[in-house]
Amino acid sequence: MSAALLLLTDGRFPAGGHAHSGGAEAAVAEGRITGAATLAEFCRGRLHTTGLVAAALAAAAAAGADLLALDDAADARTPSPALRTVSRRLGRQLLRAARAAWPAAVLDQLAADRPRGAHQPVVLGATARAAGLTPLDAARAAAYESAGSPATATVRLLGLDPFQAAAVLARLAPEVDAVADAATAAAHRARTEGTGALPAASAPLLDVSAERHAAWPTRLFTS
Amino acid sequence: MHQDHPEIFPQRHTMSVPGGHRALRVGLGGPVGSGKTATVAALCRTLRDEVSIGVVTNDIYTREDADFLLRQAVLAPDRIVAVETGACPHTAIRDDISANLEAVEELEERVGPLDLVLLESGGDNLTATFSKGLVDVQMFVIDVAGGDDIPRKGGPGVTMSDLLVVNKVDLAVHVGADLDRMAADAAAQRGGLPTVFTSVARGQGVAPVADWIRERLAESTAGAA
């Protein structure tokens, strides 16, 4: 475990995540997250679907795979136009912070190649590489973020006891580790088999809710 | 990495605005209901024929303030953008400014070149201030009805802002606010930094704020030359 990984995954790292709920705002409004138990199920579902996909993309990027091919693979695994936009915007925000924290030619090149932003998991993996972290580190960061973001948002949205939210994430930690391991193995296979070897687990309800949420006239979170 | 104006803003990390010309970024912070949006609207009306202006709002609920400005028709709609703050308006202007930087730069790309970008924070508490990585100068807007002891209480907004605006002075007589005391307390808290008293919604008093911005614009232009 490197201190650079702690910094990259710190909620205070200025990469824009605080304004996103990971789908929790829509799920709260639609009555699917009502407390700690339903939050845990929501986070578990997100972890094993979009979390797994993000972790594999991040691990592959951290392993040095072609970033633009990974960016295309991320597009193919993100059917919701609203979530594509969000992912690219967050990727751009993360890249800004990453270039200040860990200046590297690979990050400058990615910014030049994708001026409107690359997908966030791809940037996360490239950032991990620039910071001297491993593919598994990058996968853990992406997998943890997939559960951490809705948990943090639910504390604000429901006034959920923050100790309960922390307990939800602590109980999920072994599954986060397992997802990161599986994602790293897939990223390793992708080195010889191409991006088709990366997982493509989807969560249709997250996609549908994200589209609805993006059309709300008033909301607290961007997504 | 491209850093603009390295001699003036060594810490600012700007990605997309090339070259020398960049709008002056002015932050407006302050508690809920003190008149930030009304001040932005009045400033736009006063300055829009002199300089090219854009506005970024940071609302609690996405678009309320942006929609108010649109209804007032103070600027063309494409010059006003709203940033969501995830229920933490102070985070978006201080701790993680990335979304606001994105908004400012996209605005400059889309409708620029701009001379002035006004960034309005969501209504927050007395400790909320803008990061120097986001704005060049900032004003803090309070009002007499919020209590005439706010200048005495201090806090970063009152003590550190480049301009303190005390709004709604027309209400002072109704709420028992002592304007002389507020002026004396503000002077004591702020060293040499200026304080102005306004009544923006009554159509008076935004002039000193607009003059202050004109001075900052002149400084900025001189510094860039």
Tell me, yes or no, whether B2 lies in a domain: no
> Is the per-residue pLDDT at B8 higher than 90?
no
For residues B37 and B68, the answer to whether their CB atoms sit within 8 Å is yes
- CATH number of the domain bearing residue A189: 1.10.4190.10
Q: Give the closest of B84, B86, B95 to A14, CB-based.
A: B95
pLDDT of res. A215: 94
Judge whether B123 is annotated as a binding position: no
Cα gap A146→A141, rounded to integer Å? 9
Contacts of B105 in chain A (CB under 8 A): none
Judge whether B29 is annotated as a binding position: no
Question: What is the per-residue pLDDT across B29-76, written as a single tens digit (0 to 9) for each?
Answer: 999 889 999 999 999 999 999 999 999 999 777 677 888 888 888 899
Give the gap in angstroms from C-alpha B61 to the nearest C-alpha of chain A: 5
pLDDT of res. B10: 35
Range of the domain at B177: 24-224
Judge whether B137 is annotated as a binding position: no
Question: What is the per-residue pLDDT across A180-197, written as a single tens digit (0 to 9) for each?
Answer: 999 999 999 999 999 999
Confidence of residue A103 (pLDDT cuts 50, 70, 90): very high
The 3-class SS string of A169-198 reads: HHHHHHHHHHHHHHHHHHHHHHHHHCHHHC
A192 touches chain B (CB under 8 A): no
Q: Give the closest of A15, A111, A222 to B84, CB-based.
A: A222
Tell me, yes or no, whether B5 lies in a domain: no
B15 touches chain A (CB under 8 A): yes
Tell me, yes or no, whether B171 lies in a domain: yes
Express as a percent the part of chain A with pLDDT over 90.
97
Tell me, yes or no, whether B206 lies in a domain: yes
Cα gap A59→A136, rounded to integer Å? 6
> What mean pLDDT is reported for chain A?
96
Number of structural domains in chain B:
1
Tell me, yes or no, whether A223 lies in a domain: no
- CATH number of the domain bearing residue B213: 3.40.50.300
Give the gap in angstroms from C-alpha B92 to the nearest C-alpha of chain A: 8
Range of the domain at A101: 21-214
